A and B are shown apart, each in its own frame.
Chain A
Amino acid sequence: MQEILVFIVIFTAVSFLVYKVYKQFFSKKSTCETCSFSQIKETENS
């Protein structure tokens, strides 16, 4: 039982970090984790 819980927690942590890295470099928004200042990529038309 404990092993399953550990697997779920580690899987969640890895997925979360992959999502964070993707968000920083490839999505529209990137945010500083310490102060939450964020920036949205300008649209091509603006």
Chain B
Amino acid sequence: MKKFALVGNPNTGKTSVFNRLTGLNQHVGNFPGVTVDKKSGQVKLHDETIDLIDFPGTYSIYPHSSDEQIVYDVFSNPQHKDFPDAVLVVVDASNLERNLLLFTQIYDLNIPIILIINMSDIAYRKGIDIDVEGLKAKFPSITICETNARIGVGMTELKTEIFNLKTTEVSRQQIIENYVLAPIDNQESQKEEVKLRFDFIKQLIHDFVKKKKTVEEKETKKLSFWDKISIHPVFGYVIFAVIMLSIFQLIFSIAAFPMELIDGSFADFDSWTGEKLPAGLFTDLLTGGIIPGLGGVLVFLPQILILFFCLGILEETGYLARAVFIMDKLMRPFGLNGKSVVPLISSAACAIPGIMATRTIPNQKERLITILVAPLMSCSARIPVFTLLIALVIPNKTVFRFLNLQGLTLFCMYFLGIVSALIIAWVLKLLIKNKEQSYFLLEIPDFKSPRWANIFISLFEKGKVFVFEAGKVILAISIILWALASFGPGDRIEKAVKNVHFTSENVADSAQLLASVKLENSYIGILGKTIEPVIKPLGFDWKIGISLLTSFAAREVFVGSMATIYSVHQEDNKGLLETMRNEKNSLGKPVYSLATGLSLMVFYVFAMQCMATLAIVKRETKTWKWPIVQLVYMGILAYLSSLIVYNLFS
């Protein structure tokens, strides 16, 4: 199968082109030997198929970060596994001068090229007129296509050109005679080459690009107004806070119905399975371990999808880049490099890409500080934990006339994560001296309407991964928890059950009492009771303790673990939320009081409950020292904060 590469500057609509060409026929892997995600997909036309690899966005073939280096590595080595038969170079029609640098470098490598002049709508709005026919005459050996990938204009023609492209070696007049890539460490010859190329590009722009008077003056003015206000030193932060607050409000108001539906359906299915299947150990495993564990995964899918949908809109419209820009100003006084902003914002989705993104920070001390505080930003794995606990202990009511209290609490948890990351960074700045000055360069794309297909494709991928990847781990842990909760050492459970004395006071709850006695005398009960004294000051009982231990694998495991622990030995399953709401302690008071709920949420804001993040930190810092430091400091912070919160609210 032929292999094509898709390259281009960041913010040229490369992802839109990729999604348009491949649809859902795409997957994410890795380039061999490096830490860069490789997104590839298949382009199909009639019976033919072409493999398309989406390379990281880069301004030049000479790299500034490890992500960009993959482009150099592949294109400088024709023996590389991913060396392409042809290259699709995407350029932004409204910013050709800068975009053509990469094109001229690839052109001189003598690989067959299709030049995709994308975002033609924005160029039109800016009054930019490109003489495409003139360019075709200037570069007769390559194919040039004009597209607007966001709405699909020109994509059919592009697809046809891809399949008509001759992928044999081409001979052409080169821009730089006998061009070979400069060695990666020879920056002088790279600079020389780039200068020569820009001289050529300037002439090209002069000959083929005309700037007319702006066609839609009013619209441009409107855009610049939004631009100004979104990065305004005061209003910028207000807008950012309002947008984030609204997203968290939406998560609770929209997701409540599907969440209850999924929770209730699993409870019904669990009861139905228990009734229909013959009694036995496997039926117990299904009704007490597997079905509640699966329910624990799926019940939080609506919230996760809503969050990523909203973030997708912010990214697609170009707002997220502006949020990063204003956050840079906020973070500098705390010792964080401007370049730390992108890793930290990425960590709000997941700490792993965030920590990987710190590779763009040249100063090692600043990079280390960013790595150490990145997991404090609340990642998507915390959403199931927060939403479960908020639904349990925070009343669903409106405050200040328009704010939903549950949504506001979720916002506060995220805010707490950001504030603590800044404070810890400031403390680390004092401990780790740093004399180097750093800079932050960020390209802010134009505001544009989102391309819904991009958002929904990304949503589909994220949902699939959450259900099938996180789901497998949660399910496996649920099964093991069920086994540990169903069996005990020797005949300890049987003896304990025999010793239960029913009185007139407890006979009404005899089933509940027996279930509780069985659970307490199981392996998991014994383990939980052993660790209970340590976590009791935080308001946690031994069942929460067990879930804290299992969720060290990944935070979202907490929910599946709670679902399993509460359903083992139970005769009727009322759904996780209902069961937890009814859970009483030895004094007959609800286990999940406001104090316990808040204490547990704060614990999850600070605790390093993620095995994958520790593994990445170890790899990035190449030592066990820093992941251990991180685990210890975050653990102490989590314990002390929970202790304070529990005592304040109880």
Contact = CB atoms under 8 A, between A and B. Distances in A.
Interface residues of B, number: 48
Interface stretch (B33-41, B134-142, B243-251): B33-41
A17 B465 CA distance: 17
Contact of A30 (B380, B470, B476, B615): B615
Contacts of A12: 476
B534 to A, nearest CB: 23
Contact of A24 (B379, B477, B615): B615
Contacts of A21: 553, 611
Contacts of B553: 17, 20-21, 33
A20 to B, nearest CB: 6
A37 B350 contact: yes
A2 B611 contact: no
Contact of A39 (B35, B283, B349, B462): B35
Interface in A1-46: 1-3, 5-6, 9-10, 12-14, 16-17, 20-21, 24-25, 29-43, 46
B477 A17 contact: yes
A39 B352 contact: yes
Given A39-B352, A40-B34, A10 B469 contact: no
Contacts of B30: 29, 38-40
Contacts of A42: 33-35
Given A35-B350, A36-B465, A10 B479 contact: yes
Query: For chain B, what secondary structure do more than half of its interface residues adopt (helix, strand, loop), or is it mixed?
Result: helix
B356 interface: yes
B457 to A, nearest CB: 15
A9 B285 contact: yes
Nearest to B611: A24
Interface in B45-70: none
B302 interface: no
B619 A17 contact: no
B517 to A, nearest CB: 22
Contact of B466 (A6, A14, A34): A34
Given A6-B285, A33-B612, A36-B469, A41 B280 contact: no
Contacts of B282: 1-3, 5-6, 9
B640 interface: no
Nearest to B283: A2
A6 B469 CA distance: 22
Contacts of A34: 350, 379-381, 465-466, 469-470, 554-556
Contact of B352 (A3, A13, A32, A43): A32
Given A31-B612, A43-B33, A6 B473 contact: no
Interface string B588-629: 000000000000000000000011110110110000000000
A21 B462 CA distance: 22
B466 A30 contact: no
B33 A32 contact: no
Nearest to A5: B282
Given A40-B30, A42-B34, 20 more contacts: A2-B282, A3-B282, A14-B480, A17-B553, A24-B611, A30-B612, A32-B610, A32-B612, A32-B613, A33-B472, A33-B473, A34-B350, A34-B380, A35-B380, A35-B462, A37-B352, A38-B352, A39-B352, A40-B34, A40-B35
Closest 9 CB pairs of A and B: A2-B282, A2-B280, A36-B465, A13-B479, A13-B476, A34-B381, A37-B352, A30-B615, A35-B350
